[in-house]
Amino acid sequence: MSMEETVKESPGTEAEPADESTERATAPGHGDRPPRRATERETLKTAESPASKDEMPPADDMTPFEAVNYQFDCAARRLDLPHNLQVALKTPFREVMVEVPLANEDGSIRTFHGYRVQHNNARGPMKGGLRYHPDVDLDEARALASLMTWKTAVVDIPYGGGKGGIDVDPRELTKTEKERITRTFVDRIHQFIGPNEDIPAPDVNTDAQVMAWIVDEYSKFEGFTPAVVTGKPLEVGGSPGRESATGRGVSAITARAAADHGIDLDGARVAVQGFGNVGSWSARFLADQGARIVAVSDVDGGVFDGDGLDVDRLMEITGAGDSVTTVEGAEPISNDDLLTLDVDILVPAALGGVLHRWNARNVRARLVVEGANAPTTPAADALLEERGVTVVPDILANAGGVTVSYFEWVQNLQQFRWTEEKVDEELVAIMSRAYDAVRDTAAEHRTSLRTAAFMVAIQRVAKAVQVRGV
């Protein structure tokens, strides 16, 4: 390979070469000073150890991967899983990191890092999004790949978990540069993805166009293979209903949870943080069911109207490339203030970690439905549960996207397109069954919906691992 590429697989990961300072630290007579280790290696410790016998309060400063493993441990402790199986289920199957250079018009080169973490393939090919964001790193990719393993198991579709991205701010790229960086990334990971290996999909700052570029670049190596990704344009094998699928799933789960908690969705006050694909479609479908969407936000800030915002108008504005903050007649509000509004239902649908120890006590919503991945830290989760606020976890609430991605993959393999009505009907049926399983498990074991969702998922993946053998 002409450019540096690092691939780590587990088990049997080779030790990284020691630099001079590390060699001195481990040399005889150097005292008891431990060798210097990379941060990403340190966070793996939570995967390499089984759950402790007694539940410990969550730390305030967990990394994303540590947070997911803490949530896993809470469920594994109740399931009494063998220690070796716990470690096997938490440890990523493969981690890929590649250099992604981008040549500028002036001849200079910007270098980014591309990641793909493949967590588990016991139940099928690995599946998960590809995001473009400056904060993308290995620890986040590990965490999100792990969540995809449990998410696909909760809704009982035949996938494992994968996740990845590039640490780039796409707002600083032209469309041509975005295409080039996508194609370079695919060129360097194509041997690790495929319809029966790992199937990327859109995520933060990626869309159907990015997926189309991936199909085209991958097809240069393997022939036309639309099933290599999902979330594609209809013209290259996409599925009707895929664009709105995550939001439709969020609204369906919200309706079920609201009914169980005595909240009449017709007239309920709802705040949605994040007005990208997930947030906007969630808001539209909830409004269609009679909910009042009183606040929404995006990266530039938010807007509030106690009588309810015009969601269709907001979608027109954002569809034209403008911020929700430009809508007429609404009160400006910050993203932070939106999270603590006096509403019935809060839908965090932006980035992870927005609900944390320092603002969880101020959340006034009765029901939190996680449209984003990992928007609530374990410390915030504990505080919200203590205050009687119900949290519907991401691995259940936002699983509509991967569910319809599964439908798209099936259609590609069968070369037969479903109608949008069939897609929507099957999506709601699968989400409803998953909600029933999680709710019933929570009631039986007297635990939170999050721990119950992990319990349902872990049992399904563990059974597959045990049946297949090592």
Total residue length of the chain: 470
Given this model, what pLDDT does residue 34 score? 53
Residues above pLDDT 90, as percent of the chain: 85
Residue-wise over 387-425: b if at least 16 C-beta within 10 A, else e?
Answer: eebbbbbbbbbbbbbbbbbbbbbebbeeeebbeeeebbe
- Average of per-residue pLDDT values in the chain: 91
Find the range with the poorest average confidence among 43-52, 145-154, 340-349: 43-52
For the segment 191-222, what is each residue's pLDDT rounded down to a tens digit? Answer: 999 999 999 999 989 999 999 999 999 999 99
Element (H, E) at 304: strand 301-304
Element (H, E) at 434: helix 420-445
Given this model, what pLDDT does residue 39 score? 67
Rounded CA gap, 311 and 322, in Å? 14
Given this model, what pLDDT does residue 12 score? 38
Rounded CA gap, 163 and 161, in Å? 7
> Is it the case that residue 19 has pLDDT exceeding 50?
no
Residue-wise over 429-461: b if at least 16 C-beta within 10 A, else e?
Answer: ebbeebbebbbebbeeeebbbbbbbbbbbbebb
For the segment 359-392, what is each residue's pLDDT rounded down to a tens digit? Answer: 999 999 999 999 999 999 999 999 999 999 999 9
Find the range with the poorest average confidence among 50-64, 236-250, 315-329: 50-64
Split at pLDDT 50, 70, 90, the class of 35 is low
Split at pLDDT 50, 70, 90, the class of 304 is very high
Given this model, what pLDDT does residue 60 score? 75
Rounded CA gap, 279 and 284, in Å? 9
Helix (H, G, I), strand (E, B) or coil at 436: helix
Q: What are phi and psi of 422, to 5 degrees?
A: -65, -40
Split at pLDDT 50, 70, 90, the class of 96 is very high
Q: If you average pLDDT over residues 140-162, what whole number do you get? A: 97
> Is it the case that residue 109 has pLDDT exceeding 70?
yes
Within 10 Å of residue 329's Cβ, how many Cβ atoms? Answer: 10
Q: If you average pLDDT over residues 96-114, what whole number do you get? A: 94
For the segment 331-368, what is each residue's pLDDT rounded down to a tens digit? Answer: 999 999 999 999 999 999 998 999 999 999 999 999 99
> Is it the case that residue 50 has pLDDT exceeding 90?
no
Contacts 24+ apart (CB under 8 A), 238-241: 238/208, 238/211, 238/408, 239/404, 239/407, 239/408, 239/411, 239/417, 239/418, 239/423, 240/417, 240/418, 240/419, 240/420, 240/423, 241/404, 241/407, 241/420, 241/423, 241/424, 241/427
> Is it the case that residue 15 has pLDDT exceeding 80?
no
Rounded CA gap, 162 and 144, in Å? 7
Residues whose CB falls within 8 Å of the CB of residue 52, separated by 6 or more in sequence, listed in order? 73, 77
Q: What are phi and psi of 294, to 5 degrees?
A: -90, -20
**What residues are labeled active site?**
163
Residue-wise over 94-109: b if at least 16 C-beta within 10 A, else e?
Answer: bbbbbbbebeeeeeee
> Is it the case that residue 57 has pLDDT exceeding 90?
no
94 vs 15, higher pLDDT:
94
Q: If you average pLDDT over residues 129-144, what whole number do you get? A: 96
Rounded CA gap, 187 and 180, in Å? 10
Given this model, what pLDDT does residue 38 score? 56
Q: Classify burial at 262, counting beta carbons within 10 Å of its beta carbon; exposed 0-12, middle 13-18, buried 19 or more.
A: exposed
> Is it the case that residue 56 has pLDDT exceeding 80?
no
Q: If you average pLDDT over residues 99-112, what whole number do you get? A: 92
Rounded CA gap, 88 and 92, in Å? 8
Where would I find the beta strands (DSSP E) of 40-184? 94-103, 109-120, 126-132, 160-166
Rg of the chain (C-alpha set)? 22
User: Hunting for tokens 């002036």 — which residue is that?
Assistant: 106
Q: Regarding beta strands 94-103 and 160-166, do their DSSP bridges make them parallel or antiparallel, or are they unpaired? A: unpaired
Q: Euclidean distance between the first and final Cα of the chain, in Å?
A: 31
Rounded CA gap, 163 and 102, in Å? 22
Amino acid at 41: R
Rounded CA gap, 238 and 235, in Å? 7
Residues whose CB falls within 8 Å of the CB of residue 213, separated by 6 or more in sequence, listed in order? 179, 182, 183, 186
Given this model, what pLDDT does residue 329 score? 94
For the segment 380-430, what is each residue's pLDDT rounded down to a tens digit? Answer: 999 999 999 999 999 999 999 999 999 999 999 999 999 999 999 999 999
Given this model, what pLDDT does residue 3 score? 40
What structural domains and CATH numbers belong to the chain?
Answer: 1-23+77-226+402-410+450-470 (3.40.50.10860), 245-397 (3.40.50.720)
> Is it the case that residue 7 has pLDDT exceeding 90?
no
